[in-house]
Structure 1
Amino acid sequence: MPQQNQPAVVDALNALLADSYALYLKTKNYHWHVQGPRFRQLHLLFDEQAAQILATTDLIAERVRKNGAVTLRSIGEVGRRQTIRDDDAEKVDADTMVRNLAADNETLLAQIKAAKAAAEEQGDIATSGLVDGWADETEQRIWFLKATLDG
């Protein structure tokens, strides 16, 4: 039987979902607008990372529903809840894009850790176990992004 009425877990998951959507869109924005000598490398990396982030959003929302709660319903709600800031600048250089995404993924990792802590406190072992994979994927994205700057 699914967990029911765990407001701390649901709130942490919905915060994670909002930031995941914000990071997805920012990563796609950079995918569409990256320029320079590393265009191909970063264009492909950003697209791969955006797809990975988007795939996670469904899993996050389903955990909220399995906890008997409602999840985000609109872009407006994402905007109200997100802590990862948009980048509406007309021109951003490639290194700044990489640094921004690495920092934003670190913010997302903190959200994942908060969701894990809430789940463990509530005895929600399914959520606690599920977020471990999300943390690993996020750590890998951070590593890949930072490694592109070490050249």
Structure 2
Amino acid sequence: MTTVTLGEPLTSSANLTDDATRDISGAMNSVLADVFALYFTTKNFHWHMTGPDSANYQQLLDEQAEQLFLMTDPIAERICNVGGRTLCSISHKARTQLGDDVVYVKPSAMLAELSDDNKVLTTTLRNVHDLCNKHHDIVSASLIEPWIDEAELRTWFLVEATQHDDRGVAQS
């Protein structure tokens, strides 16, 4: 098995400067790590959801997790296309991700945490979008735009869901 070091650049058709390749691939790898972390958190909360609305929340979280997972290939492929290297392993991802591990969380706290995490992802995506624009990487910026919209929608659905307490009663 041949091992390639992360520092070894890939051949790229993106025609970006070395600085752009380094900056964009680094930022996109951080996004990739955060998306995987949010995917795992979302699936974990899906599996551990309890209460009267658990079936509805599980469906919502399953849809959101699928949306997050579908982001991973385009992110990784774009990193390679600009000449960068992607995350290599779970341990590499763990060194670059945000987040923490919690054993049990109440349903309302799960939804609030996911809402906050999606807000953070939205901000990160906007910052990476700005970085791509700075380096005139229109393709990466264009890929990111629908992900910003999706993150905002996930946040909105989660905020709406948190308008109910852990017994499913609307909060005033």
* TM-score normalized with structure 2 length: 0.83
Instruction: Choose the corresponding residue for 2:94, options 75, 79, 89.
Output: 79
Of residues 141, 146, 150 in structure 1, which corresponds to 2:159?
146
Matched, 1:113 2:140: no
Match of 1:132 in 2: 145
User: Is the contact between residue 26 and residue 86 of structure 1 (CA under 8 Å) also seen in structure 2?
Assistant: no
Structure 2 distance, partners of 1:98, 1:40, is 14
The letter for the 2-side match of 1:86 is D
Residue pairs, 1:23-42, within 5 angstroms = 23-42=38-57
Quote how far apart the aligned CAs of 1:2 are.
1.9
1:81-137 Cα shifts (integer Å, max 9, x gaps):
012x13331x21100000000000111111111210110010000011110000000
Q: Judge conservation of contact 1:14–1:64 (CA < 8 Å) in 2.
A: yes
1:13 and 2:44 matched:
no
Contact 1:2–1:66 under 8 Å retained in 2 = yes
Which of 72, 78, 102 in structure 2 is aligned with 1:88? 102
Alignment partners' CA distance in 2, 1:110 and 1:76 = 25
Give 2:39's aligned amino acid.
Y
Does the 8 A contact of 1:105 with 1:138 survive in 2?
Answer: yes
Structure 1 alignment gaps of length 5 or more: none
Q: CA distance change for structure 1 residues 20 and 3 in 2, over 3 Å: closer, same or farther?
A: farther
Distance 2:42 2:145 in 1: 22
Alignment match of 1:53 (pick from 64, 68, 76) = 68
Structure 1 runs (4+) deviating above 3 angstroms are: none
Please tell me whether the aligned partners of residues 120 and 128 of structure 1 are also in contact (alpha carbons under 8 angstroms): yes
Mapped to 2, the partners of 1:86 and 1:39 lie a distance apart of 23
- Percent identity over the alignment is 36
| Rg larger for | 2
Alignment-mate amino acid for residue 88 of structure 1: V
Q: Is the 8 A contact 1:99 1:145 kept in 2?
A: yes
Q: CA deviation at 1:3?
A: 3.8
CA gap 1:128/1:33 in 2 versus in 1, 3 angstroms:
same
Give 1:97's aligned residue: 110
